[in-house]
Amino acid sequence: MTMEARISVIVPVYKVEAYLNECIRSILEQTYTNLEVILVDDGSPDHCPQMCEEWADRDSRVNVIHKQNGGLSSARNAGLDICTGDYIAFVDSDDWIMPDMYQSMYDAIKAEAADICACNIISCYPDRKVTWGGKSYLAGDSETMLGLLYDDAAFPVCAWNKLYKRELWEHFRFPEGKLCEDAFTTYLLLHKADRIVQITDALYCYRIRPESIMTSAFSSKSMDEEEAWRENDKFIQTHYPRLRRRAHTFYVQSVNVLIHRIKKEQKEQYRKEYVLLKRIMLKNIFFIVFQSTASMKYRFRYLMDCTQL
Protein backbone atom coordinates (compact mmCIF):
# COMPACT_ATOMS: atom_id res chain seq x y z
CA MET A 1 0.00 0.00 0.00
CA THR A 2 1.31 3.42 -0.95
CA MET A 3 1.37 5.81 1.97
CA GLU A 4 2.27 9.19 0.58
CA ALA A 5 1.45 11.24 3.67
CA ARG A 6 3.96 11.53 6.50
CA ILE A 7 2.76 11.62 10.10
CA SER A 8 4.85 13.51 12.65
CA VAL A 9 4.51 12.02 16.13
CA ILE A 10 5.64 14.39 18.89
CA VAL A 11 6.63 12.81 22.20
CA PRO A 12 7.57 15.04 25.17
CA VAL A 13 9.99 13.16 27.43
CA TYR A 14 10.58 13.85 31.11
CA LYS A 15 11.43 11.40 33.93
CA VAL A 16 9.79 8.35 32.34
CA GLU A 17 12.68 5.94 31.95
CA ALA A 18 10.55 3.05 33.24
CA TYR A 19 7.99 3.55 30.45
CA LEU A 20 9.83 5.22 27.58
CA ASN A 21 10.93 2.14 25.65
CA GLU A 22 7.40 0.71 25.60
CA CYS A 23 6.07 4.04 24.35
CA ILE A 24 8.59 4.49 21.54
CA ARG A 25 8.39 0.85 20.47
CA SER A 26 4.60 1.08 20.12
CA ILE A 27 5.02 4.05 17.76
CA LEU A 28 7.79 2.58 15.62
CA GLU A 29 5.90 -0.72 15.26
CA GLN A 30 2.86 0.96 13.72
CA THR A 31 1.40 -0.66 10.63
CA TYR A 32 1.52 2.83 9.12
CA THR A 33 5.25 3.23 8.61
CA ASN A 34 5.72 6.68 7.04
CA LEU A 35 6.42 8.37 10.35
CA GLU A 36 8.60 11.11 11.72
CA VAL A 37 9.02 10.51 15.46
CA ILE A 38 10.19 13.59 17.37
CA LEU A 39 11.40 12.82 20.90
CA VAL A 40 11.65 16.05 22.89
CA ASP A 41 13.91 15.58 25.91
CA ASP A 42 12.57 18.30 28.19
CA GLY A 43 15.67 18.46 30.37
CA SER A 44 15.00 15.05 31.88
CA PRO A 45 17.41 14.37 34.79
CA ASP A 46 17.38 10.56 34.44
CA HIS A 47 18.52 8.24 31.64
CA CYS A 48 15.83 9.39 29.20
CA PRO A 49 18.15 11.63 27.12
CA GLN A 50 20.50 8.71 26.46
CA MET A 51 17.58 6.37 25.74
CA CYS A 52 16.24 8.81 23.16
CA GLU A 53 19.59 8.94 21.39
CA GLU A 54 19.79 5.15 21.37
CA TRP A 55 16.42 4.97 19.61
CA ALA A 56 17.58 7.55 17.06
CA ASP A 57 20.62 5.36 16.34
CA ARG A 58 18.35 2.36 15.77
CA ASP A 59 15.71 3.97 13.54
CA SER A 60 16.24 6.79 11.04
CA ARG A 61 12.66 7.97 11.54
CA VAL A 62 13.52 9.17 15.06
CA ASN A 63 14.67 12.75 15.64
CA VAL A 64 15.73 13.94 19.11
CA ILE A 65 15.56 17.43 20.58
CA HIS A 66 17.33 18.21 23.86
CA LYS A 67 16.12 21.34 25.65
CA GLN A 68 15.95 22.93 29.08
CA ASN A 69 12.98 21.88 31.14
CA GLY A 70 9.96 23.99 30.25
CA GLY A 71 7.01 21.70 30.85
CA LEU A 72 4.70 19.66 28.65
CA SER A 73 3.43 22.54 26.50
CA SER A 74 6.95 23.83 25.88
CA ALA A 75 8.10 20.37 24.80
CA ARG A 76 5.17 19.85 22.45
CA ASN A 77 5.72 23.31 20.97
CA ALA A 78 9.38 22.52 20.33
CA GLY A 79 8.27 19.49 18.33
CA LEU A 80 5.66 21.52 16.44
CA ASP A 81 8.33 24.04 15.47
CA ILE A 82 10.44 21.48 13.58
CA CYS A 83 8.03 18.77 12.43
CA THR A 84 7.72 18.17 8.69
CA GLY A 85 4.80 15.77 8.42
CA ASP A 86 1.54 16.24 6.55
CA TYR A 87 -0.28 15.19 9.73
CA ILE A 88 0.58 15.65 13.37
CA ALA A 89 -0.01 13.44 16.41
CA PHE A 90 1.04 13.53 20.06
CA VAL A 91 1.89 10.70 22.43
CA ASP A 92 2.74 11.20 26.10
CA SER A 93 5.91 9.30 26.94
CA ASP A 94 4.43 7.13 29.70
CA ASP A 95 1.62 5.91 27.42
CA TRP A 96 1.55 3.59 24.42
CA ILE A 97 -0.60 3.08 21.33
CA MET A 98 -2.18 0.14 19.51
CA PRO A 99 -0.35 -1.10 16.37
CA ASP A 100 -3.01 0.08 13.90
CA MET A 101 -3.74 3.47 15.48
CA TYR A 102 -2.38 5.73 12.77
CA GLN A 103 -3.47 3.53 9.87
CA SER A 104 -7.03 3.49 11.19
CA MET A 105 -7.11 7.23 11.84
CA TYR A 106 -5.48 8.12 8.52
CA ASP A 107 -7.96 5.92 6.66
CA ALA A 108 -10.86 7.63 8.44
CA ILE A 109 -9.51 11.09 7.61
CA LYS A 110 -9.16 10.20 3.93
CA ALA A 111 -12.57 8.52 3.76
CA GLU A 112 -14.32 11.52 5.33
CA ALA A 113 -12.13 14.26 3.83
CA ALA A 114 -11.59 15.37 7.44
CA ASP A 115 -9.01 17.58 9.11
CA ILE A 116 -9.02 15.81 12.49
CA CYS A 117 -9.67 12.24 13.58
CA ALA A 118 -10.24 11.18 17.19
CA CYS A 119 -10.24 7.63 18.56
CA ASN A 120 -11.35 6.08 21.80
CA ILE A 121 -9.05 5.72 24.80
CA ILE A 122 -8.10 2.88 27.12
CA SER A 123 -7.39 4.18 30.63
CA CYS A 124 -4.85 1.76 32.09
CA TYR A 125 -4.92 1.65 35.89
CA PRO A 126 -2.53 -0.61 37.82
CA ASP A 127 -5.35 -3.10 38.40
CA ARG A 128 -7.83 -2.56 35.55
CA LYS A 129 -8.51 -1.03 32.14
CA VAL A 130 -11.44 1.21 31.18
CA THR A 131 -12.37 2.22 27.63
CA TRP A 132 -13.91 5.64 27.06
CA GLY A 133 -14.58 8.24 24.39
CA GLY A 134 -17.14 8.53 21.61
CA LYS A 135 -19.89 5.92 21.72
CA SER A 136 -20.53 5.94 17.98
CA TYR A 137 -18.78 6.63 14.69
CA LEU A 138 -19.49 10.19 13.71
CA ALA A 139 -18.28 12.68 11.15
CA GLY A 140 -19.37 16.30 11.21
CA ASP A 141 -18.50 19.95 11.19
CA SER A 142 -17.00 22.12 13.94
CA GLU A 143 -20.32 22.87 15.61
CA THR A 144 -21.26 19.19 15.81
CA MET A 145 -18.01 18.19 17.47
CA LEU A 146 -17.88 21.19 19.80
CA GLY A 147 -21.33 20.18 20.96
CA LEU A 148 -19.95 16.75 21.84
CA LEU A 149 -16.95 18.31 23.56
CA TYR A 150 -19.29 20.02 26.03
CA ASP A 151 -21.57 17.00 26.34
CA ASP A 152 -19.86 15.24 29.25
CA ALA A 153 -16.65 14.92 27.21
CA ALA A 154 -18.27 12.68 24.57
CA PHE A 155 -15.50 14.07 22.34
CA PRO A 156 -12.43 13.97 24.63
CA VAL A 157 -10.50 17.23 24.92
CA CYS A 158 -7.05 15.59 25.08
CA ALA A 159 -4.56 16.12 22.25
CA TRP A 160 -3.09 12.64 22.19
CA ASN A 161 -6.07 10.63 20.91
CA LYS A 162 -6.19 12.65 17.69
CA LEU A 163 -4.57 12.95 14.29
CA TYR A 164 -4.47 16.49 12.90
CA LYS A 165 -3.89 17.92 9.46
CA ARG A 166 -0.70 19.96 9.74
CA GLU A 167 -2.27 23.22 8.56
CA LEU A 168 -4.42 23.46 11.69
CA TRP A 169 -1.34 24.12 13.83
CA GLU A 170 0.12 26.93 11.70
CA HIS A 171 -1.09 29.66 14.05
CA PHE A 172 -1.60 27.69 17.28
CA ARG A 173 0.67 26.50 20.06
CA PHE A 174 0.06 25.09 23.52
CA PRO A 175 0.01 27.68 26.35
CA GLU A 176 3.30 27.37 28.23
CA GLY A 177 3.21 27.33 32.00
CA LYS A 178 -0.41 26.15 32.11
CA LEU A 179 -1.99 22.92 33.25
CA CYS A 180 -5.01 21.60 31.31
CA GLU A 181 -3.18 22.74 28.17
CA ASP A 182 -5.38 20.69 25.84
CA ALA A 183 -8.51 22.55 26.97
CA PHE A 184 -6.85 25.82 25.94
CA THR A 185 -6.32 24.61 22.36
CA THR A 186 -8.77 21.88 21.31
CA TYR A 187 -11.80 24.14 20.85
CA LEU A 188 -9.78 26.48 18.62
CA LEU A 189 -8.56 23.59 16.47
CA LEU A 190 -12.09 22.23 16.13
CA HIS A 191 -13.29 25.68 15.14
CA LYS A 192 -10.64 25.92 12.43
CA ALA A 193 -11.31 22.42 11.05
CA ASP A 194 -13.89 22.04 8.27
CA ARG A 195 -14.70 18.44 9.13
CA ILE A 196 -13.88 16.11 12.01
CA VAL A 197 -14.33 12.35 12.31
CA GLN A 198 -14.61 10.30 15.49
CA ILE A 199 -14.04 6.54 15.30
CA THR A 200 -15.01 4.02 17.97
CA ASP A 201 -11.75 2.02 17.94
CA ALA A 202 -9.95 2.19 21.31
CA LEU A 203 -6.39 2.81 20.12
CA TYR A 204 -4.65 5.01 22.70
CA CYS A 205 -3.50 3.48 26.00
CA TYR A 206 -3.41 6.15 28.70
CA ARG A 207 -1.42 5.09 31.75
CA ILE A 208 -2.87 6.25 35.07
CA ARG A 209 -0.06 6.82 37.57
CA PRO A 210 -0.56 7.95 41.20
CA GLU A 211 1.93 10.79 40.69
CA SER A 212 0.50 11.98 37.35
CA ILE A 213 -0.81 15.52 36.85
CA MET A 214 -4.41 14.40 36.41
CA THR A 215 -4.45 12.61 39.77
CA SER A 216 -2.60 15.27 41.77
CA ALA A 217 -4.11 17.16 44.70
CA PHE A 218 -5.52 20.67 44.35
CA SER A 219 -3.06 23.55 44.11
CA SER A 220 -3.22 27.13 42.89
CA LYS A 221 -2.19 25.82 39.45
CA SER A 222 -5.43 23.83 39.35
CA MET A 223 -7.16 27.12 38.61
CA ASP A 224 -5.74 26.89 35.09
CA GLU A 225 -8.61 24.49 34.47
CA GLU A 226 -11.19 27.11 35.39
CA GLU A 227 -9.46 29.61 33.11
CA ALA A 228 -9.38 27.16 30.20
CA TRP A 229 -13.07 26.31 30.34
CA ARG A 230 -13.97 29.97 30.91
CA GLU A 231 -12.13 30.84 27.68
CA ASN A 232 -14.00 28.03 25.92
CA ASP A 233 -17.28 29.40 27.24
CA LYS A 234 -16.57 32.96 26.10
CA PHE A 235 -15.56 31.79 22.64
CA ILE A 236 -18.69 29.69 22.20
CA GLN A 237 -20.96 32.52 23.37
CA THR A 238 -19.60 34.63 20.52
CA HIS A 239 -19.18 32.12 17.70
CA TYR A 240 -21.74 29.33 18.26
CA PRO A 241 -25.05 30.72 19.58
CA ARG A 242 -26.78 27.34 19.42
CA LEU A 243 -24.21 25.86 21.82
CA ARG A 244 -24.32 28.68 24.39
CA ARG A 245 -26.32 26.85 27.04
CA ARG A 246 -24.36 23.63 26.63
CA ALA A 247 -20.96 25.33 26.87
CA HIS A 248 -21.92 27.42 29.89
CA THR A 249 -23.39 24.38 31.62
CA PHE A 250 -20.12 22.54 31.07
CA TYR A 251 -18.10 25.46 32.43
CA VAL A 252 -20.14 25.74 35.62
CA GLN A 253 -20.05 21.97 36.10
CA SER A 254 -16.25 22.10 35.76
CA VAL A 255 -16.14 24.75 38.48
CA ASN A 256 -18.30 22.51 40.66
CA VAL A 257 -15.89 19.61 40.19
CA LEU A 258 -12.92 21.85 40.90
CA ILE A 259 -14.25 23.22 44.19
CA HIS A 260 -14.80 19.67 45.42
CA ARG A 261 -11.10 18.97 44.87
CA ILE A 262 -10.28 21.45 47.64
CA LYS A 263 -10.22 19.36 50.78
CA LYS A 264 -11.69 20.70 54.00
CA GLU A 265 -8.24 21.13 55.54
CA GLN A 266 -7.09 23.08 52.43
CA LYS A 267 -9.80 25.73 52.47
CA GLU A 268 -7.77 28.20 54.48
CA GLN A 269 -4.63 27.65 52.41
CA TYR A 270 -6.54 28.19 49.16
CA ARG A 271 -9.07 30.65 50.47
CA LYS A 272 -8.73 32.99 47.48
CA GLU A 273 -9.35 30.17 45.01
CA TYR A 274 -12.20 28.74 47.07
CA VAL A 275 -13.96 32.11 47.32
CA LEU A 276 -13.69 32.65 43.56
CA LEU A 277 -15.10 29.22 42.73
CA LYS A 278 -17.84 29.63 45.32
CA ARG A 279 -18.81 33.00 43.83
CA ILE A 280 -19.10 31.45 40.36
CA MET A 281 -21.29 28.64 41.65
CA LEU A 282 -23.62 30.94 43.57
CA LYS A 283 -23.87 33.34 40.64
CA ASN A 284 -25.05 30.49 38.40
CA ILE A 285 -27.71 28.91 40.62
CA PHE A 286 -30.59 30.29 38.56
CA PHE A 287 -28.92 29.29 35.29
CA ILE A 288 -28.20 25.72 36.37
CA VAL A 289 -31.62 25.11 37.92
CA PHE A 290 -33.79 26.76 35.25
CA GLN A 291 -31.80 27.25 32.04
CA SER A 292 -28.97 24.70 31.81
CA THR A 293 -28.76 21.51 29.80
CA ALA A 294 -27.93 19.51 32.95
CA SER A 295 -30.11 16.64 34.11
CA MET A 296 -32.76 17.23 36.78
CA LYS A 297 -30.75 15.04 39.14
CA TYR A 298 -27.68 17.21 38.67
CA ARG A 299 -29.66 20.44 39.08
CA PHE A 300 -30.90 19.26 42.46
CA ARG A 301 -27.41 18.16 43.51
CA TYR A 302 -25.96 21.49 42.42
CA LEU A 303 -28.54 23.33 44.50
CA MET A 304 -27.66 21.19 47.52
CA ASP A 305 -23.95 21.86 46.95
CA CYS A 306 -24.54 25.60 46.94
CA THR A 307 -26.38 25.47 50.26
CA GLN A 308 -23.36 23.73 51.83
CA LEU A 309 -20.62 26.05 50.56
Q: 282-291 pLDDT, tens per residue?
A: 999 999 999 9
Residue 69 has pLDDT above 60, yes or no: yes
Return the ∠ at Cα 283 (arms to 280 and 285), rounded to 5°: 110
Look up residue 56 and give its amino acid.
A
Predicted confidence band of residue 3 (pLDDT cuts 50, 70, 90): low
Burial of residue 231 (number of CB atoms within 10 Å: 0-12, 13-18, 19+): middle
Predicted confidence band of residue 4 (pLDDT cuts 50, 70, 90): confident
Q: 135-162 pLDDT, tens per residue?
A: 899 999 999 999 999 987 789 999 999 9
Q: 94-135 pLDDT, tens per residue?
A: 999 999 999 999 999 999 999 999 999 999 999 999 998 888
Look up residue 236 and give its amino acid.
I
- Strand ranges (DSSP E) for the chain? 7-13, 35-42, 62-67, 87-90, 96-97, 116-124, 129-132, 138-140, 162-165, 196-207
127, HSE (Cβ side, Cα atoms, 13 Å):
1
Residue 35 has pLDDT above 50, yes or no: yes
Q: 223-265 pLDDT, tens per residue?
A: 999 999 999 999 999 999 999 999 999 999 999 999 999 999 9
Percent of the chain past pLDDT 70, that is, above it, reads: 97
The separation between CA 274 and the C-alpha centre of its own chain, rounded to angstroms, equals: 25
264, HSE (Cβ side, Cα atoms, 13 Å):
1
Bridge partners, 163 (sequence order): 89, 117
At 1 the pLDDT is: 43
Average pLDDT over residues 273-302: 97
| DSSP conformation letters of 7-28 | EEEEEEESS-TTTHHHHHHHHH
Bridge partners, 130 (sequence order): 123
At 140 the pLDDT is: 97
Bridge partners, 197 (sequence order): 117, 139
